[in-house]
């Protein structure tokens, strides 16, 4: 059994919270540059110019890319031969969030859902833990902002609605969201599983790189089909019109009940902040 000191996790999580909020992933930035070149409208080009300047400024100044530094969401793959020493894994992650959000001057956005009182330290984090073979600990972090999260939806389709029903629901959701979630967006789609699994699949799909290919060629083709339909909406950067409404679509699938077709759409704003560490 391999032991990992809780302090190691705390420090790595804290560093990842700060870094992810200041540095946009390279693949996302590259998409901004490609999309800016492809846009024809002046308004769309201007938005990309501002977003690129914002990226440079955040990296230089130490200010976060966006003031909404999100709820801290983690997808953890924990090797079955790993043990955390000193506290539970969940406690260590929360301690890392407290440290990172304080030291990085990141906004604490977690609050009581009814009284709306801020918890003050951006915890508790949202932590999904999977046990996997091996002795490594992989921690994926996402700073999930509220504006785009609010535009997300889950639904239970009838099996007969099939792919056509899925496609229309997803594209319609993006049309209804319009300028609200800070387009250009990334669209995570979870198909199958159960009522609670579908949105988790959709969210985890957002951790994938924009330029990776889905290992399932059929799903890869479906991601491209959805992206093309979404961009045909013409919502454009910040809703001002243009060719780029979404930078990418990522689908995750899981078998479901013979009676069901659960579907979730998790929308990610253009500030698609996420990082991963392997300990």
Task: Give me the residues that bind other proteins (CB under 8 A), please.
Answer: 47, 50-51, 53-54, 57-58, 61-69, 105-109, 116, 118, 120, 146-147, 150, 155-158, 161, 165, 167-169, 171-172, 174-175, 178-182, 229-230, 232-236, 238-242, 269-271
What is the smallest separation between the CB atom of 76 and other proteins, expressed in angstroms? 26
- HSE-CB at 36 with a 13 A cutoff on CA atoms is 15
Identity of the residue, 204 or 273, whose beta carbon is nearer to other proteins in the bound complex? 273
Identity of the residue, 51 or 201, whose beta carbon is nearer to other proteins in the bound complex? 51
What is the smallest separation between the CB atom of 150 and other proteins, expressed in angstroms? 7
What is the smallest separation between the CB atom of 212 and other proteins, expressed in angstroms? 23
What is the smallest separation between the CB atom of 111 and other proteins, expressed in angstroms? 8
Identity of the residue, 208 or 270, whose beta carbon is nearer to other proteins in the bound complex? 270
Beta-bridge mates of residue 82? 2
Residue 87, C-beta contacts closer than 8 angstroms, at least 6 positions apart: 6, 95
What is the smallest separation between the CB atom of 65 and other proteins, expressed in angstroms? 6
Among 266, 28, 252, 16, residue whose Cα is nearest residue 138:
16
Q: Per-residue DSSP letters for 78-118?
A: EETTEEEESS-HHHHHHHHHHHHHHHTT-----B-TTT--B
Burial of 33 (0-12, 13-18, 19+ CB in 10 A): exposed
Identity of the residue, 81 or 119, whose beta carbon is nearer to other proteins in the bound complex? 119
Structure-block tokens of residue 239: 């809703």
What strands lie across the sheet with 137-144, from one edge to the other? 126-132, 71-79, 137-144, 274-278
Identity of the residue, 120 or 216, whose beta carbon is nearer to other proteins in the bound complex? 120
What is the smallest separation between the CB atom of 251 and other proteins, expressed in angstroms? 17
Sole residue written with tokens 């669209």? 187
What is the smallest separation between the CB atom of 106 and other proteins, expressed in angstroms? 6
Identity of the residue, 132 or 158, whose beta carbon is nearer to other proteins in the bound complex? 158
Determine the Cα–Cα distance for residues 148 and 184; give it in Å rounded to an integer: 11
Identity of the residue, 81 or 172, whose beta carbon is nearer to other proteins in the bound complex? 172
Burial of 37 (0-12, 13-18, 19+ CB in 10 A): exposed
């Amino acid at each position: 059994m391999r032991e990992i000191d809780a302090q190691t996790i705390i420090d790595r999580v804290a560093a990842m919270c700060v870094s992810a909020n200041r540095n946009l992933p390279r693949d996302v930035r590259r998409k901004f540059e490609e999309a800016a070149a492809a846009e024809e409208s002046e308004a769309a080009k201007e938005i990309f110019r501002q977003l690129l300047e914002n990226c440079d400024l955040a990296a230089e100044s130490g200010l976060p890319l966006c003031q909404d530094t999100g709820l801290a969401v983690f997808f953890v793959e924990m090797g079955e031969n790993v043990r955390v020493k000193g506290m539970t894994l969940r406690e260590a992650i929360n301690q890392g969030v407290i440290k990172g959000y304080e030291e990085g001057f990141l906004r604490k956005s977690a609050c009581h859902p009814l009284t709306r009182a801020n918890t003050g330290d951006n915890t508790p984090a949202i932590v999904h833990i999977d046990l996997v073979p091996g002795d490594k600990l992989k921690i994926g972090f996402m700073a999930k902002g509220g504006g785009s999260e609010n535009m997300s939806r889950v639904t239970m389709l009838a099996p007969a609605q099939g792919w056509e029903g899925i496609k229309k629901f997803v594209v319609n959701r993006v049309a209804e969201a319009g300028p609200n979630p800070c387009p250009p967006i990334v669209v995570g789609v979870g198909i199958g599983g159960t009522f609670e699994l579908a949105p988790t699949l959709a969210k985890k799909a957002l951790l994938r790189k924009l330029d990776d290919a889905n290992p399932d060629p059929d799903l890869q083709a479906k991601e491209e089909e959805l992206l093309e339909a979404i961009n045909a909406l013409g919502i454009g950067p910040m809703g001002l019109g243009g060719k780029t409404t979404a930078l990418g679509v990522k689908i995750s699938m899981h078998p479901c009940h013979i009676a069901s077709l659960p579907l979730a759409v998790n929308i990610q704003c253009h500030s698609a902040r996420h990082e991963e560490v392997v300990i």
